[in-house]
Amino acid sequence: IPDKLGDGWTIPLIGVWDNIDSLERDWDTLPNELCLKSTIQGGGEAVLPIQDRSAISFSDLKETLAGWLEPKNTFLNSYCRAYYKATPRILAEVYKAEIGDQLYDYKVFCFDGEPYCCYVATDHYPGQLSHISFYDLDWNRIDARYGKHPNCDVEKPREFDEMIRVSKILSEGFPFVRVDFFETADKLYVAELTFYPGGGLTPIYPKEFSLELGNKFVLPR
């Protein structure tokens, strides 16, 4: 992302650890507000926003965080081949309150530098399915559904044109990638680049729309 866009497009990184003891040693030096994440999980799993680190004993978190580094709990055992040789790690990012308060997640489906459509994910609450709604590039709602996720109407984001511009740059050269964004009050961030939405297994309905997307996915020869 920095190579194609320059700095400042991702939420600032505080640190990265590949073992729990190193994180424990550094715990008291970390900012009071931060967000911990696993590098090889997804779907909102293994994400821990912390608003007051000084009020938390690391021993209370240690078992949970150590579990994030166990291969059996990661995408090392998934159908996503890019993870197979990855090292499980925990990263800490600067805490963004708007994201913690269920900021909308905008995800643009791109095929070799050409955005085609997007979906918006809302209501990321533990234990329930988020709402997911598809839109075309003119922000017309598409009659489609992602797995079992319910739909909802969402207003067009303020920075939508910029999302499309950035998506074109970041997706160039990839047969397919989903470029994900957070839009805060003061800044647009690239959340991640997703090559395997739903692990490639989550169905998209109706089948005609799924086929429409599949026909745009041209593998390199």
221 residues of the chain, pLDDT tens digit each: 999 999 999 999 999 999 999 999 999 999 999 999 998 887 677 889 999 999 999 999 999 999 999 888 787 777 777 788 889 999 999 998 765 555 688 999 999 999 999 999 887 655 567 889 999 999 999 999 999 998 988 899 999 999 999 999 999 999 999 999 998 888 899 999 999 888 888 999 999 999 999 999 998 87
Which pTM value belongs to this model? 0.88
Helices (H), the chain: 2-5, 20-26, 58-68, 97-100, 160-171, 207-216
pLDDT at 142: 97
Residue ranges of alpha helices (H) inside 92-186 are: 97-100, 160-171
Residues 6+ apart with CB under 8 A from 79: 196, 199, 200, 201
Given the structure tokens 């085609």, which residue do they identify? 116
H helix runs in 132-191, sequence order: 160-171
Residue/partner pairs of 61-66 with CB below 8 Å, 24 or more apart? 62/20, 62/24, 65/20, 65/23, 65/36, 65/90, 66/20
- 3-state DSSP helix/strand/coil % of the chain, to nearest 5: 30, 25, 45
CB contact at 8 A, 133 and 204: no
Residue 45 has a pLDDT of 77
In this prediction, residue 128 carries a pLDDT of: 64
Residue of 103, 26, 38 lying closest to 69 (CA atoms) = 38
